[in-house]
Amino acid sequence: TEAFMMSYVSSHTSIPVPKVRRMLSEDPDNPRCKTWWIVMDYIDGDVLESAWKSMTIWRRLCMIWTVRGYIRELQKTPIPSPDAPGPFDASGKAYLCRGTYFTEYGAGPFNSYAEMGAWFDRRRFDNLAFIHARTGIMYPCPKFDASHPLVLCHLDLHMRNLIVDGSGRLWIIDWANAGAFPTWLEYAHMVLWGRAARLEARPPKLWLWSARFVIGNYNKYTR
């Protein structure tokens, strides 16, 4: 789905995304082959993580403002099925969801928003039961919030997935996790990535602070 999502974003937004040229199968004669390569344009530049160090404070703020504009575009982009979460194709069919909050194996595909919410609530119950059995603590954790509509999300937004090219233009790469999700999940992924990284590899405080400005203030979902 990554190649389709990249093409979908390119055709529905002004966000700079590498152009997909071709899809190649590891085994063209096997219709069930799961290994594919995406041939796409190479973006000559530096990842934002590296470029950030030599930027002025004004330039850094401009980068944050630019990413905010990109996210706003994604959130306004129409999705084929408003009730089908996760990656999708031209028909609106949902596919396996990937990302930190979907375990290392992925989850789904989910036929409805409610089905994804139920999956998260089962995971929530299992984790709370495990914590209580080990520590005796009843850890406070709210149920999945499905009150927000599904919007198009990148779901892996961090400084190594943003490239500044030679002209200063900012590109977004690595759309493997992209799909239709609630906006707060985009925020939670961005913040979790910063918190989970090794201390020496954590993004600058200004970048982490900007999550509320770039995506929206969904801080209550990461407590």
DSSP assignments along 66-119, one per residue:
HHHHHHHHHHHS--S-TT--B-B-TT--B--B-SGGGTTT-B---SSHHHHHHH
Residues of the chain with pLDDT under 70: 196-201, 222-223
List of domains in the chain = 45-221 (3.90.1200)
In residues, how long is the chain? Answer: 223
pLDDT of residue 15: 97
pLDDT of residue 97: 95
Show the tokens assigned to 195: 């918190």
Record the pTM.
0.89
Residues 139 and 132: beta-carbon distance below 8 Å: yes
Residues 185 and 101: beta-carbon distance below 8 Å: yes
pLDDT of residue 191: 85
pLDDT of residue 199: 67
pLDDT of residue 198: 66
pLDDT of residue 90: 85
Q: Is 210 exposed, middle or buried (0-12, 13-18, 19+ CB in 10 A)?
A: buried
User: Rounded CA gap, 223 and 207, in Å?
Assistant: 18
